Structure 1
Amino acid sequence: MLERGLYVATFLAAIGSGLVAGIFFAFSNFVMPALGRVAPTSGIAAMQAINVTVINPGFMLAFMGTAVLCLALALGSWLWLGEWSGKLLLLASLVYLIACIGVTMGLNVPLNDALAVLQPETAQAGQLWLRYLVDWTFWNHVRTAASALALVLFTLVLIGRSAG
């Protein structure tokens, strides 16, 4: 029963990692470049609105729900730790928790908090916006890669468990 629950949780973590990777991929590849093409006042205002709107049940379920699954899977990986699938399960969970959640909370959120207090019409805001675009997008690339890597690792665990 415990083994079946671990398998199902791994499947759900793979789905969650994939959803989050897709969201971050979209931001890295067209949302942020598009916001960088408009006037800073418009880009700042749009990103401020996005940062408020993103706190919604759908995104939070995918983003933080996957983190909760990863915590449980990191702890549950002991069940398979003697096999390569257990080591991959632990690695996948840690990649998501450290390079996706950790980067978000430690780097992207503070950048968002600093952006939230800007008045878009000021000259200083325009300068900070240009720096924000570079820094936020760089760390978003890291989150994208981490979420995608976690997806691949979780999928390898599932393939390995179903084949053996």
Structure 2
Amino acid sequence: MEQLWLQVAVVLSVLGNAMLAGIYASFVCAIAPGFKTLSDTEYVNTFRKINAAIVNPGFLTLFLLSPALSVITAVGLFHDWSQSWPVVLGSALSVASTLISTMINFPLNRLLAQRRIVAPWEARRARRLFQGPWNRWNVLRMLGNAGAAVGIMLVILHPGAS
């Protein structure tokens, strides 16, 4: 790996994917279990606030640059499939995680934000429709970004492999 720009792309791709996996893991390991103690109305209101807060320049930069840098890394380091498959797989996992977010988690967030909730039964129904699917897909995107970081990290650990 001779080109400085490619070295930077590899490092930033690993860091970005690992950071995204960490954000998603924090939901799995700490936030989701903590939400179990909330009433349905508290859950909906708190999740709405989290969804509004996470849409910020820092997260969006991390969210958009990580898969882009992963693809750049895979293209820049590809020689042949037998040597380059970990970085290609890592790149594909990063893109898949981004697609899960944009096609499933974000639309669920929007539906939760737009749902009219006045009565407790409406909050209960909103939570029931949102919580299970959102959490399941969040685990998959966490695993996707973690797998991406590992696949691309192999380039750093075994530079002759790609």
**TM-score under structure 2 length normalisation:** 0.88
Contact 2:87 2:152 (8 Å CA) reproduced: yes
Q: In the alignment, which residue of structure 1 is the partner of 2:140?
A: 142
Q: Which amino acid aligns with 1:109?
A: F
Residues 1:108 and 2:105 are matched in the alignment: yes
112, 117, 121: which one aligns with 2:114: 117
Go from structure 1 to structure 2 and tell me whether the alpha carbon gap of 1:67 and 1:18 turns closer, same or farther (over 3 Å shift).
same
User: What's the CA shift string for 1:23-65, capped at 9, x where partnerless?
Assistant: 0000111212222320111110111111111011221122111
Contact 2:44 2:126 (8 Å CA) reproduced: no
Q: In the alignment, which residue of structure 2 is the partner of 1:127?
A: 125
**Which secondary structure state, in structure 2, belongs to the residue aligned with residue 37 of structure 1?**
coil
Q: Give unmatched runs, 5+ long, in structure 2.
A: none
- CA distance in 1 between counterparts of 2:127 and 2:19 reads 27
- CA distance in 1 between counterparts of 2:90 and 2:29 reads 24
Q: Give unmatched runs, 5+ long, in structure 1.
A: none
- CA distance in 1 between counterparts of 2:67 and 2:157 reads 21
Cα root mean square deviation, aligned? 2.1
Contact 1:120 1:126 (8 Å CA) reproduced: no
Q: In the alignment, which residue of structure 1 is the partner of 2:80?
A: 81
- Aligned-residue identity in percent: 25
Structure 1 residue 68, shift from structure 2 partner? 1.9
Q: Which amino acid aligns with 1:161?
A: P
Moved over 6 A (4+): none
**TM-score under structure 1 length normalisation:** 0.87
